[in-house]
Amino acid sequence: MANKRRIIRGLGPNTVVRCRLGHVFTTMWIPGVSFKAVRLGWARFQRCPVGRHWSVVRPVDPDELTAAEKLSAAHHRDVRIP
C-alpha cells in the first residue's frame, strides 16, 4: 500500500506514464475522474502520442525514469482537455 500511496501523490495534470511498448509521455491523470480514457484501476487505455497507437498506460514514478525517458516525457505530452 505504501507504493500505491506514493504514486497517488504523483498523479495530476502532469503525470508521467508508460505505455505497453515502453514509451514514456506526460498526460493528465486525475484520480476518480474519467476523461477520454477508460479507467482500469491503475492503468488506462488511451492513445500514446509517442508511438501514435492505443495502449494500456500506467503511471510511473518520475524518480525511476532514465535520462532518456525523462526527455521523452518532457517532449511528448498528451493533448490537453479543453
- Site residues (CB under 5 A) for Zn ion? 19, 21, 23, 48, 50-51
Cell numbers linked to 38: 477508460
Q: How far is the CB of 78 from Zn ion (least distance, A)?
A: 12
Q: How far is the CB of 29 from Zn ion (least distance, A)?
A: 16
**Residue 66: phi, psi to the nearest 5?**
-80, 170
Q: Which is nearer to Zn ion, 23 or 44 (CB)?
A: 23
CA distances from 53 to 2, 14, 18, 38, 46 (A): 32, 20, 13, 15, 8
Q: Cβ closer to Zn ion: 3 or 66?
A: 66
Nearer to Zn ion, 20 or 39 (CB): 20
Backbone angles phi, psi at 45, to 5 degrees: -105, 115
The minimum distance between CB 8 and Zn ion, in angstroms, equals 24
